Chains A and B, each alone.
Chain A
Amino acid sequence: MGLDLGALFHEYHESLVRMLTRRTGDRGRAEELAQETFARAVVAPPTNPRPWLFAVALNLLREEGRNATTRDRRLVLVKDEDHVAPYVPPDEAYEREETRLQVRSALAQLSERDRDVLLLQAEGFDYDEIAQATGLSRGAIGTTLARARKRLLEVYTQGEGGEHVARG
C-alpha cells in the first residue's frame, strides 16, 4: 500500500475541487468527481500524486461529459441553492455573477487542452507537472499557455464589450 489517503486528501482535495469547480461550474459535481478520484487513488496508489489525481479527475470529467453535454448549463442555473453563500452586497453580487458567466463562456470556447493547461497552471502546477497530467511535452506548455491566455482574454473582452465604462 504505502498510500496515506488522509495526507493525500488533506493536501490536494481543496485544490482539486477548486479546479473542477472552475472547470464545470458546479461545486457539487466537482466534489463528486474529487471523491471518485480519491477512491481510485486507493485502488491504484499513484507514485506522483498531484499530476495523477488531476489527470484522473479530468479524465473522469471527460467520460462523464460524453453522456451529458448539456448538463453544465442546467446545473449552473440551480447550483447556488444548496451551499451556504457568504454575504455579498447585492450590486457586488450582480457584478460578480456577470463576470462569472462571462468567464465561464469564454473558458468554454477554448479547446479542451488549452483549458486544462490553464486550469492546472492556476492551481500552481509547474510545467513538468502540467506535462505529466496532460500528456503534452514540457516544451509545448509555454506555447499552449500563451495561446490559451490570449484567447481567453480576447473572448472575454469581446463578451464584455464597453459595458464597464464608468458612469458620468
Chain B
Amino acid sequence: MSHVDDGTLHALVDDELDDTERASIEAHLATCGDCAKRFAEATAMARQVASLLGALDEVPAPVRIQPAAPRVADVGTAPTVARVTPIGRRFVTLRRVALAASVLLVAGVSYQVGQRRPAVTDGSSEAAPTSATAPPQTTLASGAAAPVETIVTRAGPVAPDARVEPRRTAVRVAAVPVASDRGDAIVTARVPTPVVAMAPRAEPLTAPPPAPSVAELTQQKAAAERQAVQASEASLDRAVQATGGQVAQRRTVTADAQDQQRAAPSSDVARAYQRAREVAPSAASANVVAAEPASLGFASPVAPGALAGYRATDEVLKPAVVRRRYVAADGTTLLLTIAPSSTDVAKPTAKASPEFTVSTVNGRSTVRWQVPGLSYELQGALSPDSLVKLATLLR
C-alpha cells in the first residue's frame, strides 16, 4: 500500500473514516513508520489547533467532563421532553463552576498576605455597606510602605433567614509591595464558612410563553448565564465549607520592580471582578437554581504530584483548564497544562494512548499524554529526554 495522504490522516484523527477505510489505514500505520509518525503529527496538530482556537474564546468551549454541578434552569424553552443536549450545552455548567472557582479562589473573601511577615488583623470594614451578621475576617500584612489598595466587593455571607438578596460586604485587600530579598509574597485566599441561602425555585411562568422572540431569548439566556455563575459560586462555597473552610489556592504575587508593570493592572482586575459581582445579584430575583454540593470535575485529577526541587503554582488558565507552573531554584520553568480531552472519552480505542507524544520547537520541548477525559501537556526548555523523565514522575 502506498503512503496515506494528509487529508486521510486528518480524517482518521477526526474519526471520519468508515470502518473498512479505517481498518486498512490503521493496518498500514502499524507497518509504516513514516505514516505512523505523520499520523502522530496530525494528531498533535489537531490538538494544538483546538487549543489555539480556544484562546480566542469568550464563550466557553465544549468540554467533555460530566459535571456534578447543578443544571441551570432551562429558561425560555417550552415544556421539555427529555432531550439529548449537544456537547456545547451539556457541559457548560462545569465551565461555569470552574470559572467561578477561578474568580472566587483567587479573589476570595479574606486574604492573608505575607509568608514571612507577621499578619496583623485589621478590622477595617468601614467600607462595608451593610452590617453582615458574620463579617468576614480580614487580615492584612503590615509594614509595607504605600500599599496598593483595592476594594473587592463580594456577596457576603447570607444569614439563613435571608431570602434572596445576598448581602454585600466590601473586603479590603491590600496588594502589599514586599521588601524581602526574594520579592515574592504568597497570597492565600481563605474563605470563611458562608451560609448559602437559596430561594425556592420559582414556579414556571403561568402559561407556556408563546413563541418568544429572538431578542427575548437572548436576554433570558444572559440572565441564565448570570444565574449559572452565581449558582456555581454557591456550590463552590459549599464545597469549600465541606472541606473545613480552607482553600488551598495560592498564587504568587510578583513584587519585583521589573514586574510592577505587570502587577499594576490588579486594580483593573479588581474592578472587573467587582463589576462581575454587581451583575450577579440582579439575577437573584428570578428563579434561583438550587445548589448541590459540587465536586469540581477538574479539580481532583489535577494533582499529579510534585516535582522535587520545583515549586508548583496552579492557575486556572481558562475555565476547566488548569496550568501548573513548576519553577526550580535556578529559574527553570515547566508548564503543565491540564485540559479536558475532547476526544478520548468518546473513543478510547482510537485516541487514548498511554504513550508520551514528544515534540520540540525552538528548543522548547512538549510532552503530551492523556488519561481518559484529560490531556496533559508538559512544556519546558529542556531536552525531550529530560522532559519525558519528569513527565514520568508526574504520571
Contacts and interface: CB of A to CB of B under 8 A. Distances in A.
Interface of A: 4-7, 9-15, 17-18, 21-22, 25, 27, 31, 35, 38-39, 42, 83-94, 96, 99-100, 103-104, 106-107, 118-119, 121-124, 126-127, 140-150, 152-153, 156-157, 161-162, 164-168
B262 A85 contact: no
Contact of A14 (B6, B88, B107, B215): B88
Interface centre among B83, B214, B332, B380 (most CB of A within 10 A): B214
A165 B52 contact: no
A100 B209 CA distance: 40
B87 A124 contact: yes
Interface of B: 5-11, 14, 16, 42, 45-46, 48-50, 52-53, 55-62, 74, 76-78, 83, 85-89, 92, 99, 102-103, 106-107, 211-212, 214-215, 217-218, 221, 251, 254, 259, 262-266, 269, 272-273, 275-276, 279, 315, 317, 319, 328, 330-334, 361-364, 379-381
Closest 10 CB pairs of A and B: A168-B331, A143-B7, A142-B7, A142-B11, A18-B59, A146-B6, A166-B333, A146-B10, A15-B88, A166-B381
25 contacts: A11-B89, A15-B86, A18-B61, A21-B57, A27-B59, A39-B214, A87-B103, A87-B107, A88-B269, A90-B269, A91-B262, A103-B56, A104-B56, A118-B53, A122-B49, A122-B50, A142-B7, A142-B16, A145-B10, A145-B11, A148-B49, A150-B6, A153-B45, A156-B52, A162-B363
B263 A90 contact: yes
A6 B214 contact: no
A17 B59 contact: yes
Contacts of A119: 53
Contacts of B269: 87-90, 93
B59 A21 contact: yes
Contacts of B275: 84-85
A166 B334 contact: yes
Interface centre among A92, A161, A162, A167 (most CB of B within 10 A): A92
A89 B264 CA distance: 11
Nearest to B48: A153
B59 A14 contact: yes
B10 A5 contact: no
Contacts of A126: 14, 16
A13 B48 CA distance: 25
Nearest to B273: A87
Contacts of B52: 99, 103, 106, 152-153, 156
A14 B48 CA distance: 23
Given A18-B59, A157-B362, 14 more contacts: A5-B211, A35-B215, A84-B272, A88-B269, A90-B269, A93-B265, A122-B61, A124-B62, A142-B8, A142-B14, A143-B10, A146-B42, A162-B362, A165-B364
B14 A127 contact: yes
Nearest to B46: A149
B88 A124 contact: yes
A42 to B, nearest CB: 7
Given A18-B88, A142-B8, A166-B381, A121 B56 contact: no
